[in-house]
Amino acid sequence: MPADTTPAHHTEDGRFTNPWPTWQERSLLEVLKWRWNAPKRPALGWLMSNPSVTSEDLKQAFPVRPVDTQSFAQPTAPGVRAAWIGHATCLLQMAGVTFLTDPVFSDRASPFQRLGPRRVVEPAIRPSDPGFPKIDFVLISHNHYDHLDTASVKELHSRFGHDLAWYVPLKLGAWFTNLGITNVTEMDWWQEVQHSNSQVSVIMTPAQHWSSRSLTDRRHTLWGGYCVKGPQQRVWFAGDTGYCPAFQEIGQRLAPIDLAMIPIGAYEPAWFLRPQHCDPAEAVKIHQEVGAKRSFAIHHATFSLTDEALDEPRELLRKHAAEAHLSPEEFQALQHGACLHIGT
């Protein structure tokens, strides 16, 4: 790998930062400005063709396919298997291990299950469902409530116990310890860890984002994505990120990537959200810069978090992917529950 060229992301006060000129910190005043000027829309969001959307409209727009659990029944089968569960939650299997990214199965992305953003689309599968495979490890990108959900973490730990490993960003380990979970590895950008008794290693990669679960802990824990590298294939989970120079370096270090999971939603209004979330055009650039052979979209059509229509990201992804001369399969927006198999 090339020498480390990522600028320092640790600060003198023990917190973390984004070390690129593409980052801009947002203040509480700017948050209030956004929310004050946000267009009126239903709590569950809206569709490009329907500003007065109902739950039934959303079910038709975003059908859920049952996850093909049989395809995950043989962990040692060759190739990579992946299923999009919803938002940033993905189920993957390769080189004898099965793992999850940012598992969120709760109804709301919130510290409270009666308040906060409510799911538009149900999870394609839950840990309590028949056929849910044994999970070897979980990747956590950061501590925002739509990526780190207490109830989901507890459910997975209850089912799989201390055999289930958790890879988390720096300084997030204490959060898990407080839940009685000890099989936790904290990671820094570009750190690589060999997963126990396996042929795969986990590499944490940079992302342009931030962390917080309260009004007083902004950027106290790190954030990032992950590459899982096996003997023959490697997959990359971008986490939650705005567009920044890090992706060229990720490509230089880790390409080719057989399968990437890249966020495409939660980008409007751009004046406020561009530093922390990428739009579909930027997602296509990320796909190209990291050297992904194939990608599928995450972080869209599951929670209504921002102002764009819920079906706009996938439509814009098709447009910008075609303009970049990508085939429809090269970077696609899957239906919830859909599975991909990348061969040997």
**pLDDT tens digit sequence for 282-325:** 999 999 999 999 999 999 999 999 999 999 999 999 999 999 99
Percent with pLDDT over 90 in the chain: 92
Structural domain contains residue 20: no
3-state secondary structure 299-314: CCCCECCCCCCCCHHH
Q: How far is CA 336 from CA 155, 170, 178, 307, 333, in A?
A: 21, 31, 32, 21, 9
Residue 114: DSSP 8-state: T
Structural domain contains residue 34: yes
Q: What is the mean pLDDT of the chain?
A: 95
Does the pLDDT at position 2 exceed 70? no
Expressed as residue numbers, the domain containing 233 is 28-342
Does the pLDDT at position 4 exceed 80? no
Q: What pLDDT shows up at residue 6?
A: 66
Banded model confidence at residue 111, pLDDT cuts 50, 70, 90: confident
* Least confident range of 1-10, 257-266, 297-306, 316-325: 1-10
Question: Is 142 annotated as contributing to ligand binding?
Answer: no
Structural domain contains residue 121: yes
Structural domain contains residue 17: no
Question: Is 226 annotated as contributing to ligand binding?
Answer: no
Domain count of the chain? 1
pTM over 0.85: yes
Closest CA to 170 of 152, 143, 136, 200: 143
Does the pLDDT at position 1 exceed 50? no
For the domain that residue 138 is a member of, what is the CATH number? 3.60.15.10
Structural domain contains residue 160: yes
Structural domain contains residue 116: yes
Cβ neighbour number for residue 255 with a 10 Å cutoff: 14
Q: How far apart are CA 243 and CA 286, in angstroms?
A: 7
Kindly report, residue by residue over 53-82, the tens digit of the pLDDT: 999 999 999 999 999 999 999 999 999 999
Structural domain contains residue 9: no
Structural domain contains residue 251: yes
